[in-house]
Chain A
Amino acid sequence: MERQEIIDGLVEILKTVRTIDQSKLENVTEETDFIADLNTPSTEMINIAAKAEQKFDVEFEDDDIDDLGSKVKDIVDLILRTKERG
């Protein structure tokens, strides 16, 4: 799975999170920070992670979610790493 494909999928998830300013979703890159750039409430991060599990058909370890950074690339890395781990 390509990284851009994952980013596009994450943007689709973010469009369902109504507490995120939707106008900020036009230029999401790997360096975009969920909290600093998108003002995502910290309570929504777990919802985004859970929806990413569903969308990309992976199951994260609890420790991986605990250690997850707040940038888009962090979750892209986690998705790819989890997929490789099988």
Chain B
Amino acid sequence: MALEGRKVAIVGMGGAFPDCKDLSEFKQKLFNGDSLIRSWDLALAHGKNIRSTVSGYITEPEMDLEAIYSTLAADYPETYIDHLGRIPDSNLSTADVGSIWSMIGAQEAIKMAGWSTSETQSEQTGVVVGSGGAGHVILRTAWHNFFELKRKTRLAGSHTVDRAMVYRDAANVSCLIKNRGVCESIGSACATGLGNIGYAYRLIKFGLQDRVIAGGVEGTSLETFIGFDAMQVLSKGFVPAESSRPFDVNRNGFVCSFGCGIVALEEYEMAKARGANILAVIDNYHNNSDGDGNMFFPSFSGQKRLWKGLIDDLHIRPDVVKVHGTSTPIGDAIELLSVVDVMGNKDYQISAPKSQFGHMLGAAGAVELITAILMLEQQQVLPCLNAVKLNPELESFQKSTDWNGPAEPVEAYRDLISLDTIDKEINQIVCLNYGFGGTNSAMSISRDN
């Protein structure tokens, strides 16, 4: 359980962001109102076999990486070269591309945090990083060579396990930074990013660790993309920059994107004592499940219970609600109405950063927490691009006799959703993310006073 008086600070951050060379460019483009979504040549190459062709993807050259392809197995990236010399070759040899982004993000976060080598390598330092998918790029080639081409297992090399295992991102970060505390991954679909950071928060809050490198990652992978494409849940029919349109009446799906968000968490008093720059303080984290047996459909009551658990008896009254806001027809409407049901219809703003970079799946919650930290820092609310027209009619579920939420159509809440970046005094932000399986997660962060 939480220890009395023990607080958790966010003291560093880093990662990998679509169409951006680093966190600084990410910040600049976000507040400039840019879209980071592009047509994806890898998807376009499959013609009519693939439905959606836009993504917030990241190429290897954009991260100053180069894949070295095996001479033994076709299309198999045997290892990578880091042209900036950030990650040693021995660490690169055990990593898929998402794990490399995680290691780079961890280095950046630790540097920003200012942790010493002994602090980083302490038994009191943990690593909690996860991703939504498996190491699909690695596994597909290994399996294809064995099952389809009937070749020996060893031709795919000896790193299929470490480069594809569920907690590969955490393991690779831990082997790089040599911490001696916890090393684990939490998996909760599209809530994974926030879920890992929430678990890391609890490790510190409960007195089990003093510092944790935490976050979520989703390495660029057409293998991941096509699973969602087959479900027909991806955005289709818009130019790239207009494809992700949370809350807009014409939205027709999310933009499948990739990225990585890593934060450095530290026990508040320790961070203060060493003069660390406190980026934000975590007020609380809460997660729950819908409990309605539905794998996919979001739950209004589940989200209301999420808010109740987050607020608890704490003073949580955010100036900005950073929503999950995927741009799917049902998800956005239920989420907006659950936020309004708790928060009312004024004195706060809604931010849906997926409108700018799409849905990074297992990385979403972590990268979006970073956008929330940037909003606290900049005292600006990021825009909800493309939310041009909100539904003036009631949603079908609002017409059900069972419905006990707001009775106004989504359009009634226009003032909460800005198409442009706006200035605002921001002291507190609540971040929301949900995932398949009916999992819901919420974190509240505040400026350090």
Contacts and interface: CB of A to CB of B under 8 A. Distances in A.
Interface string A62-85: 000100000000000000000000
Nearest to B152: A50
B318 to A, nearest CB: 48
B118 interface: no
A18 B89 contact: yes
B162 to A, nearest CB: 8
Interface string A26-43: 000000000000000101
Contact of A19 (B81, B89, B157): B89
A41 B157 contact: no
B72 interface: yes
Nearest to B90: A19
Contacts of B90: 19, 41
B92 interface: yes
Interface string A46-61: 1101110010000000
A54 B152 CA distance: 12
B92 A43 contact: no
A21 B90 CA distance: 10
B154 interface: yes
A55 B395 CA distance: 65
B422 interface: no
A4 interface: no
Interface in B105-142: none
Nearest to A13: B71
Contacts of A47: 78, 154, 157-158
A18 B157 contact: no
A50 to B, nearest CB: 5
A54 B158 contact: no
Nearest to A54: B72
Contacts of B78: 47
Contact of B72 (A44, A45, A50): A50
B29 interface: no
B394 interface: no
Interface in B89-105: 89-90, 92-93
B447 interface: no
A56 to B, nearest CB: 13
B414 interface: no
B79 A18 contact: yes
Contact of A43 (B71, B72, B159): B159
Nearest to B73: A50
B157 A50 contact: yes
A49 B154 contact: yes
B89 A54 contact: no
B239 interface: no
B371 to A, nearest CB: 35
B83 to A, nearest CB: 13
Contacts of A54: 71-72
A51 B93 contact: no
Interface of B: 68, 71-72, 78-79, 81, 89-90, 92-93, 152, 154-155, 157-159
Given A47-B158, A50-B72, 5 more contacts: A18-B93, A44-B93, A44-B158, A47-B157, A50-B154
Interface of A: 16, 18-19, 41, 43-47, 49-51, 54, 65
28 contacts: A16-B68, A18-B68, A18-B81, A18-B89, A18-B92, A19-B89, A19-B90, A19-B93, A41-B90, A41-B93, A43-B159, A44-B93, A44-B158, A46-B154, A46-B157, A46-B158, A47-B154, A47-B158, A49-B154, A50-B72, A50-B152, A50-B154, A50-B157, A51-B71, A51-B72, A54-B71, A54-B72, A65-B154
Q: Which 8 A-B pairs have the closest CB atoms?
A: A18-B89, A46-B158, A50-B154, A43-B158, A19-B90, A19-B93, A47-B157, A19-B89
